[in-house]
Amino acid sequence: MKNLKYTWVSISISILFLTGCTQDFLNRPPVDAITDANFYKTDAQVMAGTASLYNRVWFDYNDKASYDIGDFRAGTSYNPYGQQGYVRFNLTGDDADMNAGWNAFFTVIGQSNMAIQNIKRYAGAAVTEPIKMEAIAEARFMRACAYRNLVMLWGEVPIIENNQAILNDTTIARNTISSVWKFLTYEMRAVANDLPEKPYDVGRVNKWSAEGMLARFYLTRAGVESVNGVRNQEFLDSAKYYSNRVITMSGKMLLPDYASLFKYPYDNNAESLFELQWVFSNVWGVSNSMPAYLAYSSDIANGDGWGGSIGATWWMIQKYEGINAYGSTGDSLKGRTLDQRLHATFMLPGASYPEISQRVTTLAGKDSIQRLIYPNSTGDNTTLAIKKYICGKAADMGGQASSQHYPNDTYMLRLAEMYLIYAEAELGNQTQTSDATALLYFNAVHERAGLGKIITPLTFDMIFNERVIEFAMEGMCMYDLSSLYYYNPDKALAILNSQDRGLFAAHPDVFPNPTQWTFIKTAWYIPANGDYRTINATTGNFYLPIPTTELAAAPNLQKPAVDYYNK
């Protein structure tokens, strides 16, 4: 299961691949690309040339930007004392994490472009045609994924297919959102045709990864090409078609237990369609650093564990079935849930995680190790800490972890999304649907979480909420809101502006292993900037600002966007 990971790490180190990237995307191709004309002479060398696209090039996005943008900004989780540009929805073009995400996406694009050009130019006679086709398709797949993220987060962005052609060109313009999406679907259809059903290595993308992305792309593009809020039916049908093919033909299956999706070692499991391939290594940028910032304490980490103030929002916690409004004042919730996803995503006081070691201090003042029981705070605010991607100390991971160096992969596409895409595409422009297949697929995800079968018609809100719960802390929610924003911006903004992002306390009825919790808003909480709990999302701030440094380097990025196919 580590073939792809260790193959590319050993090769990249030997050829000095990790030498750092320029920060201006217009200065691509990146200086850390494989360009040796003598390298692409065998099938193994060609495939080694694309293996890096699963790892290092995504690092700066995965590090912090993925959850800053995908979760903090979307409202599933928050840090009341940090990353306030995301929590308060008022980012500037100088934000470091946002800039890191932008640069990472264009690094992926630049490396992918270089890989495509190098393989076409330098592949030797001994390289077989299927391998050449597969490697180029992998690079196009990664490029399309990076552009999908860019267009959904920043709106109009420039499409670059050949970095050498625009080297030092400051006149490059942004392209319209609709033409970027046209490019993306065209690209991924070609990729799906060229990728094999069985990948070259475990962990690489294959035909079903591409068709899964097509289902995602077409569902979103249906909104991009909407007319007066009515989504494009042809693209909705395409989303149904591709999601159903992946569900019924890929051989993938939902894991029986949701929590096992995030228990080490879970990499490249039966549900995964595409994930970033991290390794435990002392080389910076090839390991997963995200757990260092999300783990709530060094007591469960490895010299890091800096996420003590990061946790679920009030908006998020009340989405779980069984946790309901309590009392008449509007400031309390109470209950428990059968939804296993809560325990696997966020830590509530008294919850137990036997797979994770916890350092505690005994009454005698000595350090001791026990199985994790999330601590109880008796104060008036509580952090419901992050569990997803937190796998514990090195001893819990076979010795394969140290400070900011973790081996566990990051999901980029899971089969569960295919089930929910089908349900939403079938719903389409209707207010509700009782379609048997849509209900079957929706319930496959819902019941896997430990909840009862839904027999009432499905609505958009039901499917949207299921996505929020299923993918919380996987960097997904802001993309879901962006997909909605394309055809119903008022609803997307209303969801954001209705969220409560303030402090609250969580009190278990017993400790440990409580049977229910009471949640009470912290009355005194007022952030330093004067906002109180809610945010102000508008059409003017929904998309992220282009980094200030990029606007200075390429002033044409401030001009009106042009159609990529009609320049």
Residue 7 has pLDDT above 60, yes or no: no
Residue 187 in contact with residue 143, Cβ under 8 Å? yes
Domain boundaries, the chain: 3-238+546-558, 290-406
Nearest CA among 298, 350, 349, 341 for reference residue 320: 341
Q: What confidence tier does 166 reach under pLDDT thresholds 50, 70, 90?
A: low
Confidence of residue 38 (pLDDT cuts 50, 70, 90): confident
Q: How many CA atoms lie within 13 A of 58 on its CB side?
A: 24
Q: What per-residue confidence (pLDDT) applies to 32?
A: 45
Average pLDDT, the chain: 92
Q: Report the C-alpha gap between 556 and 558 in whole angstroms.
A: 5
Tens digit of each residue's pLDDT (9 = 90 or more) over 476-505 = 999 999 999 999 999 999 999 999 999 999
| Ordered DSSP codes for 174-212 | -B-HHHHHHHHHHHHHHHHHHS-SS-SSTTS--HHHHHH
Instruction: Note the pLDDT tens digit of each residue in 172-229.
Output: 889 999 999 999 999 999 999 999 999 999 999 999 999 999 999 999 999 999 999 9
Separation CA 465–CA 319 (nearest Å): 7
The rounded distance, in Å, linking the Cα atoms of 540 and 561 is: 16
pLDDT band at 361 (very low <50, low <70, confident <90, very high): confident
pLDDT of residue 83: 94
Question: Tokens representing 150?
Answer: 């860019």
The Cα–Cα gap between 223 and 233 comes to 10
| Span 248-267, pLDDT tens digits | 999 999 999 999 999 999 99
CA distance readout (Å), 448 to 33, 388, 442, 452: 43, 17, 10, 9
Q: What does the pLDDT read at residue 3?
A: 61
pLDDT digits (tens, 9 = 90+) for 265-312: 999 999 999 999 999 999 999 999 999 999 999 999 999 999 999 999
In the structure, what pLDDT confidence band is assigned to residue 152 with cuts at 50, 70 and 90?
Answer: very high
Q: What is the DSSP letter of 255?
A: -
Which CATH architecture is the domain 3-238+546-558 placed in?
A: Alpha Horseshoe (1.25)
pLDDT digits over 232-245, tens only?
A: 999 999 999 999 99
Q: Are 54 and 48 in contact (CB under 8 A)?
A: no
Per-residue pLDDT averaged across 536-543, rounded? 97
Burial code (b: 16+ CB inside 10 Å, e: under 16) for 296-329 equals bbebbbbebbbbebbbbbbbbbebbbebeeeeee
DSSP sequence for 224-251: HT-BTTBPPHHHHHHHHHHHHHHHHHS-
The model's pLDDT over 445-479, given as tens digits with 9 standing for 90+, comes to 999 999 999 999 999 999 999 999 999 999 999 99
The pLDDT score that the predictor gives to residue 452 is: 97
What gap in Å lies between CA 75 and CA 131, rounded to an integer?
A: 43
The predicted model scores a pTM of: 0.94
The H or E element containing residue 414 is strand 410-414
